Amino acid sequence: MKQLITIIGPTAIGKTALSIHIANHFNCEIVSCDSRQFFKETTIGTAVPSTAELAAAPHHFIQNRSIFEPYTVGDFEKEAIATIDRLFLTNDYVVLVGGSGLYVNAVLKGFDEFPEIDPAIRENITASYEKLGIIYLQEQLQKLDPDYFKTLLTENAQTLQNPQRMMRFVEVCLGAGKPYSSFLNQKQNTRNFTPILIGLEANRSILYNRINERVNIMMNEGLLQEAKTVYPNKELNALQTVGYRELFNYFDGETALEFAIEEIKKNTRRFAKRQLTWFKRDQNTKWFDFETPYQTIFDYIKLKNA
C-alpha cells in the first residue's frame, strides 16, 4: 500500500523538522506544497528550509520557480502528482508537507471541472477591473457567490487580493450563470495512494510566541534587504504575501520600520489562525502537540499502515 504521509499545520509550528525526521525514518523523499516556498527570489521571508535541512532529506518543489513565472495551483497539481507517482515506484512512502491548504487539497483530492466561458466575458471583467480595481471583483464575487466569498474571507483572505484568481471566480459565475462554488467538489479524482494526515498544533499563546520569534530571526537574517531586492516587482502575485507587503509599505514611506515589523507579526498570526480553520475541517487528520516525541508519530504511521 502506497502511503502519502501528509504533514499540515500553521506556520512556525515545526512541520519542516518533523517531515525530515519522518523522511529519514522511512527512507523516503519530501514533496513540499508550501506555495510561498516555490520561488527562488524569496528565501528568508518564506522560511525556506535551510541548506542543512535540504541536505538532510531529498526535497521537491522548493524554490523551483521564479517570481516572474506564472504558476497556478493547477500547474502544481499536475507536476506534484507526476513526481509522487514516480517516487512511489521505488518506495511505499512519500512525505507531503506544507501550510497551503489549497495546494494540499489539490494533491489529495484534485481539481474540479468548470464549463468553457466566453472570452468576451473575461475581457469585460478585465476592463472593469482595470477601471475600478480589486474592490470591483470582490463586490462582484460577494454578490454572485456569497458563500464562497465568505469562505475565502475566513480561510484564504490572500486570494481576495489576487486579481487573476478573482477574475476567474467572477467570469465563471457570470458565464455559467451559477455560483463558482457550485462547481467545486463534483469530480472524484483517483489517486494511487492513501493519505495519512498528521497535524501539528500548539497552545495559541505558544504558537504566537513562536511566530513573533521567527519574524525577529527573519529580520536578523536579512529579510529587509531581501524585500528591498524584490521591491521593484512588488506588483507580482508571488509577492502579495505576508512579510513582503508590510515592508513594501515601509519602502513606500507609508509606515515606520518598527510598525512594519509588528504588522508582519500580527498578519502572520492571523494567517496561522486561518490555516488552522482550514485544516481543522478535515476529520481524518490526527493532531499532535508540536512537542510530541517523533517516535510516537512514527508508531502512529506504522499503525495506519498495518
222 annotated ligand-binding residue: no
How would you classify the pairing of strands 3-8 and 30-32? unpaired
Q: What is the mean pLDDT of residues 99-126?
A: 84
Q: What is the mean pLDDT of residues 251-273?
A: 96
16 annotated ligand-binding residue: yes
What is the predicted pLDDT for the residue at 159?
87
DSSP letter, residue 263: H
Domain ranges of the chain: 3-111+189-304, 119-183
Pick among 3.40.50.300, 1.10.10.60, 3.40.50.150, 3.55.50.30: CATH of 3-111+189-304: 3.40.50.300
Does 260 score more than 70 pLDDT?
Answer: yes
**119-183 shares the fold of 3-111+189-304:** no
Whole-number Å distance between alpha carbons of 276 and 278: 5
What is the predicted pLDDT for the residue at 202?
97
Confidence of residue 233 (pLDDT cuts 50, 70, 90): very high
Task: Please answer whether residues 42 and 52 qualify as being in contact, where contact means their C-beta atoms are separated by less than 8 angstroms.
Answer: no
9 annotated ligand-binding residue: yes
* CB atoms near residue 2 (< 10 Å): 17
Q: Which three three-digit cell numbers place residue 186?
A: 463534483
Residue in 278, 230, 241 with CA at minimum distance from that of residue 263:
241
Percent of the residues in the chain that have a pLDDT greater than 90, as a whole number:
74
The dihedral region occupied by 129, where left means phi > 0, alpha psi between -120 and 50, and beta the remainder, is: alpha
Q: What is the mean pLDDT of residues 225-243?
A: 93
10 annotated ligand-binding residue: yes
Does 115 score more than 80 pLDDT?
Answer: no
The string of pLDDT tens digits covering residues 67-82 is 999 887 778 999 999 9
Confidence of residue 157 (pLDDT cuts 50, 70, 90): confident
74 annotated ligand-binding residue: no
Whole-number Å distance between alpha carbons of 46 and 218: 9
Note the pTM of the prediction, 2 decimals: 0.81
How would you classify the pairing of strands 30-32 and 93-97? parallel
What is the predicted pLDDT for the residue at 20?
98
Task: Give the domain 119-183 fold.
Answer: Histone, subunit A (1.10.20)
The string of pLDDT tens digits covering residues 8-45 is 999 999 999 999 999 999 999 999 999 999 999 999 99
292 annotated ligand-binding residue: no
Does 144 score more than 70 pLDDT?
Answer: yes
12 annotated ligand-binding residue: yes
15 annotated ligand-binding residue: yes
What is the predicted pLDDT for the residue at 186?
67
Does 114 score more than 80 pLDDT?
Answer: no
Does 1 score more than 90 pLDDT?
Answer: no
> Quick check: helix, strand or coil at residue 170?
helix
Residue in 126, 170, 121 with CA at minimum distance from that of residue 144:
170
Q: What is the mean pLDDT of residues 90-94?
A: 97
Residue 211 burial class via C-beta count within 10 angstroms: exposed 0-12, middle 13-18, buried 19 and up: buried
Does 187 score more than 70 pLDDT?
Answer: no
